Amino acid sequence: MATTQASSKRLTKHQLKQDAFTTTIFAAREWITQNLRLAFMVLGGIVAILAIVWGINYYRTSQAAQANSLFGQGGVEIRGGNLAAGIISLRKLVDEHSGATVAGIACVQLADAYFQQRTFDDAKKYFQKYIDSYGNDPTMNAAAWSGLAAIDEQASANAEAAQKFMKAAGFIPKTFQAAEYLRGALRCAFAAKDSALATQIFSTLEKDYGPNDQNVRLARQNMIENKFLEPQVN
Q: Please tell me the predicted confidence (pLDDT) of residue 132.
A: 96
Residues 36 and 130 in one domain: yes
Q: Please tell me the predicted confidence (pLDDT) of residue 6.
A: 44
Residues 31 and 87 in one domain: yes
| 68-78 b/e (C-beta count within 10 Å ≥ 16 → b) | eebbebbbebb
Q: Which of 81, 113, 136 is the last residue of a domain?
A: 136
Q: Number of structural domains, the chain?
A: 2
Look up the CATH number of the domain holding residue 187.
Answer: 1.25.40
Q: Which residues lie closer than 8 Å to 123 by C-beta, 6 or more apart?
A: 111, 112, 114, 115, 147, 151
The end-to-end CA distance of the chain, in Å, is: 149
Residues 116 and 149 in one domain: no
Q: Please tell me the predicted confidence (pLDDT) of residue 146.
A: 95
Nearest Cα to Cα of residue 219 among 191, 184, 168: 184
Residues 112 and 207 in one domain: no
Domain carrying residue 159:
142-234
Residues 148 and 196 in one domain: yes
Query: Which residues of the chain are modeled with pLDDT < 70?
Result: 1-62, 233-234
**What's at 88, amino acid-wise?**
I
How far CA 21 is from CA of 28, 49, 136, in Å, comes to: 10, 41, 73
Contact 141, 175 (CB under 8 A): no
Residues 113 and 188 in one domain: no
Residues 29 and 128 in one domain: yes
Q: Please tell me the predicted confidence (pLDDT) of residue 59.
A: 47
- pTM, full prediction: 0.74
Residues 123 and 150 in one domain: no
Q: Tell me the HSE value of 184 on the side-chain side, using a 13 A CA sphere.
A: 27
Q: Please tell me the predicted confidence (pLDDT) of residue 156.
A: 97
Structure confidence by residue, pLDDT tens digits, 93-121: 999 999 999 999 999 999 999 999 999 99
12 in a domain, yes or no?
A: no
8 in a domain, yes or no?
A: no
- Phi and psi at residue 161, in whole multiples of 5°? -60, -40
Residues 127 and 208 in one domain: no
Residues 168 and 72 in one domain: no
Residues 147 and 111 in one domain: no
Residues 129 and 154 in one domain: no
Q: Which of 116, 136, 156 is the last residue of a domain?
A: 136
